[in-house]
Amino acid sequence: MKKSLFIGILILLAACAQNNSADIEKRVNDTLAQMTLDEKIAVIHAQSKFSSPGIPRLGIPELWCDDGPHGVRPETLWDEWASARQTNDSCTAYPSLTCLAATWNRDLSRLYGRSVGEEARYRKKNVLLGPGVNIARTPLCGRNFEYMGEDPYLAGQMAVPYVQGLQSNGVAACVKHYAVNNQEEGRLKLNANVDDRALYEIYLPAFKAAIQEGGAWSIMSSYNRYQDKFASHNPRLLKEILKGEWAWDGAVISDWGAVHDTDGAAEGGLDLEFGTHTNGVDKNTANAYDAYYMAQAYKEKILSGELPMEDLDDKVRRVLRLHFRTAANEHQGSMNSPEHWADCRKIGTEGIVLLRNEGILPMKAGARKIVVLGENAIRPMVVGGSSSSLKAQHEISPLEGIRAAFPEAEVVYERAYYSGEPTPGKGYNYSLYDITEERSSEQLLEDALDALDGADYVVFIGGLNKNKKQDCEGNDRESYELPYGQNEVIENLAAVRPDLIYVNISGSPVAMPFVEKVGAIIQAWYLGSETGNALADVLTGKVNPSGKLPVTFPVALEDGPVKTERQYPGIIDEEGDWQVYYDEGIYVGYRWYDTQGIPVLFPFGHGLSYTSFEYGQAQAPGTMKDRITVSVTVKNTGEVAGAEIVQLYIQDVEASVDRPAKELKGFEKVWLEPGETKPVHFTIGRDALSYFDAEKHEWVAEKGTFKALIGASSADIRSEVSFELK
């Protein structure tokens, strides 16, 4: 055995025995010292669609990535997006990250990460491309369903345990998409014009939390430009902030095809290049991956002295850390286990949000006839959406879940509306059921109305789907309204049955002009493999709903802060560049609606229960130096056990700068039996009171009066207490 190979094997064995940072640094330095220039160049770019090479001479294995974050994507061909058509690559499809954020449950986020990490490890993946923590700036963004809502604090708090749970399996989180990637329209070329205060207060905190508190091992640079430089080439984002201010030692991975030139990538802070369009199939067939920007061209610039070896060595060190933290891990993982299905179901039930209930829910046992309407009652949702499309081992539809929950009832189904032929992104597979429909929209409505006679319950399951220009990567929605004529259908049904239960399946807010005309509304997101079972659990009261909205549902799109063309989708400037202006600054989501006093359909943090909760008077010391504890009691005043999400907002009463009416700075999910009372305590520091001073480039907490607002949502403040910052 060659000495170098023997050393490499010893390094990997040591990695299995010990994975602390000091040990990793020693192994990184030992390995780097033995590497040739060709080996250094090889490990910083792909060798296939989803893998990068190891160092065979030193016993370092390949690094394999997989699209996430909702499950482990099916295998693709070596050089292509096309399916490898394997029969053993199905997975458990977990609920969308908007659903996870709606649980407001940190423990459940850790469970989610650990569970999906076990599946990734079983499939021998080293890096899962997720979680996504971009802020929902506009409801129209086609990829909002992959993210964690509109608030940076909530997104960060939910991302941290996901990252920790995932990486406990030796699978790296690749937090995405860094940064200011808040729309799909024009994402490959737009330039995001955002001021530093908004950047640091709104768009960076969730990334920072995932990095510094979660300990994420990798991060994905986004497609868009910022300060006229692509994110994969952006020294401000990658070197100054990420690796400088945050002192991060992980690896920056490009989004697939997000690299544009050698100098920019080499000098801008990128570490690992994937997806550049030289795939060996339709061009560069002789040396496809050598044609990557950080491959042969980079090597030549190193040899000529145009680019320094120190930058290359830094990239290699970061990639080696990723190898040692993941590829050498001894976890085996598991796939499609009953435990994973139970995790999926639990996350789904806790993320479902009861938006409205006029005494209709929960559905009672003994129903003789239940009418289920709407295409989304039968439509598979784990497929589609492009990069997050999955091949699940099973997917329980809402119709199947309701039928299983009411085995003695006659459950009648009518489609009621038709979405048309699918417009697929990567990974669509509609062989699971027949998508075609021969009836006209008029006939579909007539048949739905005819089915209502004698029904004990009528459940309409509609919303969006994962077609292009719905909840799907690559395009944004064209309208805030429900598609496929659903408003008219619901209005007609509700005129006959005002007790109609509307279940909205979507990853983003939608308009609901019928809100006062139906008996109940449920926001069900995308719930994954156990969709039908999770939904039925909440409909029947087997699980008391406890989810709350991570996004505001405005009445109309024009009520929101993004109003002009230059804000969205952007304008083409005199040089022909696509410019998007974040003129709203820090006023995103509830920060806008609450500060402006604009009525909304459903506020941020809103969610009902089958029980009721009473809040006591908030208590806090009168003055604060560095930290303060705010306390409140919560009592379950209803007849069933349930959970309340207690939210802490901070208001700066005496601010010298423009500040929102309130900002979320704490939350706790409290489980209470009927009649039970529990105290809730929030300890906050000066950071919770601070704003970012762009001129000084520092966080500032001004002395003066602040209010701690305790609420059931951003618009439902139950108690408040004032204190002074000295």
How confident is the model at residue 191, as a pLDDT? 98
Q: What is the pLDDT of residue 20?
A: 73
Nearest to 173 by CA among 218, 143, 132: 218
Cα radius of gyration rounded to whole Å, the chain: 26
Token pair recorded at residue 255: 């989004």
pTM above 0.85, yes or no: yes
Q: Residue 3: what pLDDT? A: 43
Of residues 87 and 538, more confidence is placed in: 538
Which of 252, 249, 268 has its CA nearest to residue 307? 268
What are the pLDDT digits (tens) for 644-661? 999 999 999 999 999 999
pLDDT tens-digit profile of 583-608?
999 999 999 999 999 999 999 999 99
* pLDDT at residue number 648: 98
Q: Answer yes or no: are the C-beta atoms of 525 and 461 closer than 8 Å.
A: no
- pLDDT band at residue 149 under the 50/70/90 scheme: very high
Orientation of helix 21-34 relative to helix 309-326, angle to 10°: 130
Single out the residue of 480, 489, 505 nearest to residue 449, CA to CA: 489
The first and second tokens of residue 483, run together, are 């598609």
pLDDT beyond 80 at 7: no
Q: At residue 559, does pLDDT exceed 70?
A: yes
CB atoms closer than 10 angstroms to residue 685: 13
Q: Which residue has the tokens 């309204």?
A: 481
Taking the C-alpha atoms of residue 670 and residue 677, their distance in angstroms, rounded to an integer, is 10
Q: What is the pLDDT of residue 19?
A: 54
Confidence of residue 9 (pLDDT cuts 50, 70, 90): very low
Per-residue pLDDT averaged across 439-445, rounded? 97
Helical pair 152-167 and 106-122, crossing angle rounded to 10 deg: 40
Residue 385 pLDDT: 79
Whether residue 141 is predicted with pLDDT greater than 80 in this model: the reply is yes
Question: Which pLDDT score, from 0 to 100, does residue 434 have?
Answer: 61
- What residues does 615 pair with on adjacent strands? 634
Lowest mean pLDDT among 77-91, 153-167, 199-213, 258-272: 77-91
Tens of pLDDT, residues 447-466: 999 999 999 999 999 999 99
What integer pLDDT is reported at residue 281 of this predicted model? 61
How sure is the predictor about 288, in pLDDT bands with cuts at 50, 70 and 90? confident
Q: Which residues in the chain are classed under CATH 3.40.50.1700?
A: 352-543
Q: What is the mean pLDDT of residues 238-262?
A: 97
Least confident window among 198-202, 315-319, 420-424: 420-424
Whole-number Å distance between alpha carbons of 397 and 529? 8
Of all residues in the chain, the percent with pLDDT exceeding 70 is 94
Structure token pair of residue 415: 């489609």
Query: Are 113 and 103 a contacting pair, CB within 8 Å?
Result: no
- Closest to 40 (Cα-Cα) out of 324, 322, 309: 309
Q: Give the per-residue pLDDT at 286.
A: 61
Of the listed 66, 151, 255, 271, which one is catalytic?
A: 255
**pLDDT value at residue 320:** 97
pLDDT at residue 336 tops 90: yes
Q: What is the pLDDT of residues 49-90, one digit of tens each?
A: 999 999 999 999 999 999 989 999 999 999 888 888 888 899
Give me the mean pLDDT over the 432-438 stretch: 71
3-326: CATH homologous superfamily? Glycoside hydrolase, family 3, N-terminal domain (3.20.20.300)
Q: Which residues of the chain does CATH 2.60.40.10 include?
A: 606-725
Structure tokens, 498: 């005002």
Residue 10 has pLDDT above 90, yes or no: no
Residue 160, pLDDT above cutoff 50: yes
Distance (Å, rounded) from C-alpha 677 to C-alpha 202?
Answer: 35
pLDDT in tens, 360-390: 999 999 999 999 999 999 999 998 778 888 9
Query: In 3D, which of 224, 88, 105, 86 has the Cα closest to residue 165?
Result: 105
Residue 380: count of CB within 10 angstroms of its CB: 20
- Residue span(s) of the chain under CATH 3.20.20.300 come to 3-326
Q: What is the 3-state secondary structure (H, E, C) of 218-270?
A: EEEECCCEECCEEHHHCHHHHHHHHHHHCCCCCEEEECCCCCCCHHHHHHHCC
Task: Please provide the average confidence, as pLDDT, over all residues in the chain.
Answer: 94
φ, ψ at 265 (rounded to 5°): -70, -45
Q: What is the per-residue pLDDT for 384?
A: 79
Do residues 725 and 687 touch, judged by C-beta distance below 8 A? Answer: no
471-498 confidence digits (pLDDT tens): 999 999 999 999 999 999 999 999 999 9
Query: Looking at residue 280, what is its pLDDT?
Result: 61
SS (H, E, C) 66-134: EECCCCCCCCECCCCCCECCCCCCCECCCCCHHHHHHHCCHHHHHHHHHHHHHHHHHCCCCEEECCECC
- pLDDT value, residue 428: 44
Q: What CATH class has 606-725? A: mainly beta
pLDDT over 60 at 234, yes or no: yes
Q: What are phi and psi of 290, to 5 degrees?
A: -70, -20
| Residue 328 pLDDT exceeds 70 | no
255 assigned to active site: yes
Give the residue from 719, 614, 631 showing the smallest Cα distance to 676.
Answer: 614
Top-level class of domain 352-543:
alpha beta
Interatomic CA distance for residues 711 and 203, integer angstroms: 24
Max distance between CA atoms of the chain, in angstroms, equals 82
* Of 327 and 491, the one with more pLDDT: 491
Q: Average pLDDT, stretch 156-161?
A: 98
If you average pLDDT over residues 346-358, what whole number do you get?
A: 98
Tell me the C-alpha distance between 523 and 185, whole Å.
26
Q: How confident is the model at residue 18 (pLDDT cuts 50, 70, 90)?
A: very low
Phi and psi at 254, nearest 5°, equal -70, 150
Whole-number pLDDT of residue 635: 98
For residue 6, pLDDT over 50 is answered with: no
| Segment 630-650 mean pLDDT | 98
